[in-house]
Amino acid sequence: MESGALLGLLLGLGLLLIWRSGPRAPRRRTGPRKVSGRQELLGAAGLTGINAAQLVAMQVGLGLLALVVVLLATGTVTVSLVFTVFGFALPHVQVRRLAARRRADLREVWPEVVDNLASAVRAGLSLPEALSALSTRGPEVLRPPFDRFAAQYRSSGRFAACLDRLKDDLADPVGDRIVETLRVAREVGGSDLGRVLRTLATFLREDARARAELETRQGWVVQAARLAVAAPWVVLLLLATQSTTLDAYDSALGSAILLGGGVVCFVAYRLMLRIGRLPEDVRVLQ
């Protein structure tokens, strides 16, 4: 009787294992996740508490606010629509500016992060301990992501899943390379990790030094171009407050001039940015 119960238990356990190994088995994420461009931009800007839908809602709300304010101030529908477009685009432009600033800040501190990891590995710490130590010893701007990594690893103990979450929090190409280097070192082992990290730190310092020099030289050109694009529209807003010019802007010819001027400014500004753009790292290891 007892042997029959034991056989039944073993049979049930075997069927359970077969069922769990099939299509219903939990699968590890092997390929890159598809993330929308807006969500990736928010991550690069460090705005992890905002999603793409909230950004769009903010753009719509600011566009409507600009429409109401300019319409009440000028009484001109065409001019109000122009500044509605500006209001709608402003949050997206601000997020891009924050992303560029955060990328520049991270470029300065990544060598320090890599040096800390290399020192921790040389001192005999495990990779999870080395990453968790950066929540207190690392640069201030990167402590929150590593603190979340440490908390998640303490609660789950799954190093691979915690690395995936860390990559999402860092949202940076250099961070992707560091995380994947540590993942490979964890899975296949090897004694060259410290040497690889020190070489990477040297490369990052040289790249940051060269890029900072180039950005300083081109900064005044970019600011001058932005001022040249914004000046005509500020003048337009001032002119639209005069009652003698309202009829001209509400006419078909005035609308065509505004539309043509907007297209010319947009194309010229984008062309200037494209010509003066420095090459950026792409997140190919997401």
Q: Is the pLDDT of residue 84 over 80?
A: yes
Q: What is the pLDDT of residue 50?
A: 81
CA–CA separation, 105 and 2 (whole Å): 68
Q: Is the pLDDT of residue 162 over 50?
A: yes
Question: Which segments of the chain does DSSP mark as H helices, in order?
Answer: 2-20, 37-44, 52-74, 77-122, 127-137, 143-156, 159-170, 173-188, 193-239, 243-250, 252-276
Identity (one letter) of the amino acid at 172? D
**Six-digit token pair at 231?**
């000046």
**Six-digit token pair at 91?**
């949050």
Q: What is the pLDDT of residue 215?
A: 73
Mean pLDDT of the 48-67 span: 86
CA–CA separation, 134 and 169 (whole Å): 14
165 vs 73, which has greater pLDDT? 165
Q: Is the pLDDT of residue 277 over 80?
A: no
* Structure confidence by residue, pLDDT tens digits, 88-119: 988 888 888 888 888 878 888 888 888 888 88
Tell me which of 19-23, 73-77, 172-176, 238-242 is least confident: 19-23
CA–CA separation, 165 and 170 (whole Å): 9
Bin 139: left if φ > 0, else alpha if -120 < ψ < 50, else beta: beta
221 vs 154, which has greater pLDDT? 154
Q: What is the pLDDT of residue 49?
A: 75
Question: How many domains are contained in the chain?
Answer: 1
Residue 119, domain extent: 37-276
% of the chain at pLDDT higher than 90: 1
Q: Given pLDDT bands bounded at 50, 70 and 90, which one contains residue 201?
A: confident
What does the angle CA 99 – CA 105 – CA 110 come to, to the nearest 5 degrees? 115
CA–CA separation, 58 and 61 (whole Å): 5
Rg (C-alpha) for the chain, rounded Å, is 27
Hunting for tokens 């900072």 — which residue is that? 212
Query: How many alpha carbons fall within 13 Å on the CB side of residue 246?
Result: 13
SS3 126: coil
Q: Examine residue 107 and state whether it is found in any structural domain, yes or no.
A: yes
Q: Examine residue 63 and state whether it is found in any structural domain, yes or no.
A: yes
**Six-digit token pair at 282?**
């792409």
Hunting for tokens 């490979």 — which residue is that? 184
Average pLDDT, the chain: 77
Q: What is the pLDDT of residue 28?
A: 43
Q: Given pLDDT bands bounded at 50, 70 and 90, which one contains residue 217?
A: confident
Mean pLDDT of the 123-143 span: 85
Q: Examine residue 285 and state whether it is found in any structural domain, yes or no.
A: no
SS3 189: coil
Give the orientation angle of helix 127-137 with respect to helix 173-188, to 10 degrees.
150
Which DSSP category does 123 fall into?
A: T
Q: Examine residue 137 and state whether it is found in any structural domain, yes or no.
A: yes
Q: Examine residue 145 and state whether it is found in any structural domain, yes or no.
A: yes
Q: Examine residue 25 and state whether it is found in any structural domain, yes or no.
A: no
Q: Given pLDDT bands bounded at 50, 70 and 90, which one contains residue 29?
A: very low
Tell me which of 45-59, 171-185, 229-243 is least confident: 229-243
Q: Examine residue 144 and state whether it is found in any structural domain, yes or no.
A: yes
Q: Examine residue 203 and state whether it is found in any structural domain, yes or no.
A: yes
Q: Is the pLDDT of residue 196 over 50?
A: yes
